[in-house]
Structure 1
Amino acid sequence: MNQNTGKYIIFIGGIILLIGIVMYFFADKLHWFGRLPGDIRYEKGNTRIYFPVVTMILLSLLLNLIIYLVKKFL
């Protein structure tokens, strides 16, 4: 293991910590996340199928932006 691996593990841990803090303190304000227009929901009887298409696209764009910024400044 080299020194860069340790930096990446610390960075990933910091990201997970920040996500946890946001979810803990702002969960009531983020009720829209996962219920965006374009997310596919099917409910009939006891069957529930949910495909969060737009939510995953938004999350993917956000994560790509974060990764781009980290690579640019590290």
Structure 2
Amino acid sequence: MREIGKLLIMVGAVTIIMGLMIFLISKMSDLKWLPGDIVIRKKDFVFIFPITTMIIISIVLTVILNIIGKFFK
């Protein structure tokens, strides 16, 4: 039973983190792109590759998940 409780807490924490990330990303859509993000605009085409944004999100998620992982060990 204890393992199921830990699993439910972990699923809840990940759900909250994902919800916060979606909320923050939706707020970031109002901002301009970060330096390093690739934006190519053509006549009828826009290609956006947010490499800097993805790296920052990856670092933040890695830190958060490592902290959560240490909590459950």
Equivalences for 1:1-74 in 2 at 5 Å?
A: 4=3, 7-17=6-16, 19-20=18-19, 23=23, 28=27, 30=28, 31-32=30-31, 35-74=33-72
TM-score computed with the length of structure 2 as normaliser: 0.66
TM-score computed with the length of structure 1 as normaliser: 0.65
Corresponding pairs, count: 69
The CA RMSD over aligned residues, in Å, is: 3.0
- Runs of 5+ consecutive residues of structure 1 not aligned to the other structure: none
C-alpha separation in 1, matches of 2:55 and 2:4: 28
Inter-CA distance 42–9: structure 2 relative to 1 (3 Å threshold): farther
C-alpha separation in 1, matches of 2:48 and 2:12: 29
Of structures 1 and 2, the one scoring higher in RCO (CA 8 A, sep 6+) is 2
